[in-house]
A and B are shown apart, each in its own frame.
Chain A
Amino acid sequence: MIYLVGLLLFGILAILQSTIVSTTPLLLGTADLFLLFIVAWALQDRVDSSWQWCLIGGIFASLYSALPFGAFIVAYLLCVGITRLIKHRIWKAPFLAMLAAIFISTIVSQLIAFLSRTVLGVSMSLIEVLNLILLPSLLLNLILAIPVFSIMRDLAQWLYPEELEA
């Protein structure tokens, strides 16, 4: 059931990302819905399927991108790892944890995309990447972080209902 919801969610996100979000950039940067939902899911209490959802999201993102197939999967797996570390450190303030996780995860995922293109022989100026892609993407992701976290918290409560003590 949980994986089915994940498949459905990331299928919808892939369509939204490729048709709407990617066509409305800020400079050249765009929000990353996959990353936002994966990180928000990894921050939820009682959720034990964050790695699996991360894999599903990575596969969907790879299908919709010309980046090397593993790039998104590796980036998102790293982001989930970082997010879980942050969750253990800032567990009392989930919104703050979300913002911190999105901040670091955006930088990590964009740097992995930049490195994967550079390894394949495409030369890009790091300053241009920073100014035109990384910082605008960071801003958009941070703006969307709190609403996405709220959505995922509701979803987590639905999929992992709190057990009542007898």
Chain B
Amino acid sequence: MKSNSSLRLFVFLLIALGVVGLALGGYLAPISRIIINPVVSAQGWLAKRYQAVQSLVTQPEDVTSLRQKNAELEAENSRLQVQIVELQQQVIEAQLLSTLVDYERKHVENQYSAASVIARDVSPFMHYVIIDRGSDDGLRRGMPVVTNQGLVGNITSVTAGASRVQLINDPASSINVILQQSDVEAVLNGQLTGELELNMINQNATVQAGDLVMTSGLGGNYPANIVIGQVVTVRNEASSLFQTASVQPAVDFSQLDIVLIITNFQPIDISPLIPAPNTP
């Protein structure tokens, strides 16, 4: 009886080892697939139902926490979007300041003070802007205002914390200029339309489109050699005493944000030297 049970155990172990050997060899895969697939499907079905029931039971708590989380994330999102806009603005300002600093480094003969354009003249007849620096910052009437692109204008009035700048395209603005290529001197006047016009060009002078217009320094209102713009068209009428030309300004006056004021330049008032008509 005992030997019979030992023999049965031995046979069972042999079969078990055979089954394990077949399984390790991968021979039982089709059979196991047939057995396991229905089990997995049944387990999956049951798990889904259980999770649905579980979520139904715990949902109120989840919705509350999700809503709270959503509100927090929305607030965070808004805050970050505001931060992005602020940073973009700062990047633009930093780029602008960087170009102005480059300009300052290239023109070491001058001392500069930077200012932001905060307002424009309320009358459409006046081409003036208001900047956020005044006499407290050392600004004085007559100081030239530039950007890295070229001449903007000059300060016409100053308060403690702000100054008014007359742009070079104001109809009352008049600047002595020189054309770089041809060395011809002329007078640059602003126009109501915002354009610039060169006047008093000698009839014999050769002026071409593309000539660079710069301040000549004559008259003592501006330092010499500040870029103003380029000649676009030249008008030469035989009946007139002088040639005229229109100039494309280097500065975009509608996009003025930050400007530089040349603080070590003092304009010279030459009006006492101009003889009055009745002077003998």
Contacts and interface: CB of A to CB of B under 8 A. Distances in A.
Interface in A7-66: 14-15, 17-19, 21-23, 25, 28-30, 32, 34, 61, 64-66
Contacts of B192: 28, 124-125, 128-129, 132-133
Nearest to B171: A122
A31 B83 CA distance: 33
Given A28-B194, A128-B192, A128-B193, A117 B124 contact: no
A55 B194 CA distance: 31
Interface in A111-146: 113-114, 117, 120-125, 128-129, 132-133, 137
Contacts of A156: none
Nearest to A61: B122
Interface in A54-85: 61, 64-67, 72
Contact of A137 (B124, B157, B194): B124
B222 interface: no
Interface residues of B, number: 21
A67 B124 CA distance: 10
A114 B124 contact: no
B122 A17 contact: yes
Contacts of B128: 65-66
Nearest to B194: A28
B172 interface: yes
A133 B118 contact: no
Contacts of B124: 22, 25, 28-30, 133, 137
Interface in B165-209: 166, 171-172, 192-194
Given A28-B194, A129-B192, A64 B171 contact: no
Interface residues of A, number: 35
Contact of A22 (B120, B164, B166): B120
Contacts of A110: 125
B123 A67 contact: yes
B194 A34 contact: no
A23 B128 CA distance: 11
Nearest to B159: A63
- Chain B CB count within 10 A is highest, among A122, A128, A129, for A122
A109 B156 CA distance: 24
B133 to A, nearest CB: 17
B119 interface: yes
Nearest to B118: A19
A64 B124 CA distance: 12
Which 9 pairs of residues, A with B, have the shortest CB-CB distance?
Answer: A18-B119, A22-B120, A66-B128, A64-B122, A122-B172, A65-B123, A122-B171, A66-B126, A113-B125
Interface of B: 118-126, 128, 130, 156-157, 164, 166, 171-172, 192-194, 254
Interface of A: 14-15, 17-19, 21-23, 25, 28-30, 32, 34, 61, 64-67, 72, 110, 113-114, 117, 120-125, 128-129, 132-133, 137
